[in-house]
Amino acid sequence: MPTDSCHPQAPHRKLRVADTFVSGLMVERALDAITRRVKKLDRDHDIPYLAGYSLDGKTIYIDRHLPRTFRYKDRDIDIDRYLILHESVEKALIDQLGLHYQHAHQIACRAEEAAVRAENVSWRAYDQFTQKYIKDVWHEELKNLPADLDQKPYRDEHDFDLLKRMKEAIHQGRTKHSPKSKVAASVEGAMQEVAARKSAGSKRQPQARK
């Protein structure tokens, strides 16, 4: 877990302005509070979309190839905490409020951006750095997938190609999981759900006027 929280001890000294005001300091405090509540951070696996979470939300996964820091204006910026924030907010919105992944992802992105800016880091520089590795992750071989990785983001994105790659990696023996493992069953179930949604969507398409 990140150990450079700006406010490691609580309770905090009250601000001179109302807590309801938008404040970079309050954003940093919220970020610290969330990172402290994550049970486990795992950086040992291949994670499509760069980061994700376990089915129970207790583990945040970050792709094993992503560096822990990036250089910005002679500063080494720890990026784990921002990804933890994003994934934690996204998972909570999906599980607790029943939001679709796309909606939860958008809100989580805004929270992540606010946290990055609160540390006087350019969102553009940070985003360019992470996007580069997202592209790299897409082209890498998926050799080590977590058994309890939540497949909902890939289902909701209808990312059949990615799910197919995950299935092929398992069945071709390029991962630590067997075709009869839990992760294989999860991937297969997600593929079937995406296929069913696409089929249902095509049937609802209005016919062109003759």
Judgement on whether residues 147 and 134 belong to the same structural domain of the protein: no
State which of 100, 117, 140 marks the end of a domain.
140
Total length of the chain: 210
pLDDT for the residue numbered 26: 80
pLDDT for the residue numbered 139: 66
What does pTM read for this prediction?
0.79
Judgement on whether residues 108 and 178 belong to the same structural domain of the protein: no
The burial class, CB within 10 Å (0-12 / 13-18 / 19+), for 193 is middle
Judgement on whether residues 157 and 208 belong to the same structural domain of the protein: yes
The domain containing residue 180 runs over which residues?
A: 142-210
Separation between Cα atoms, residue 140 and residue 183, nearest integer Å: 19
Judgement on whether residues 159 and 87 belong to the same structural domain of the protein: no
State which of 114, 140, 166 marks the end of a domain.
140
How many structural domains comprise the chain?
Answer: 2
How do the pLDDT tens digits run along the chain, 210 residues long? Answer: 554 545 444 444 554 555 545 567 788 888 888 888 888 999 999 998 899 999 999 999 999 999 999 999 999 999 999 999 999 999 999 999 999 999 999 999 999 999 999 899 999 999 999 988 886 666 677 888 888 999 999 999 888 888 888 888 888 887 878 888 888 898 899 899 998 887 776 655 544 443
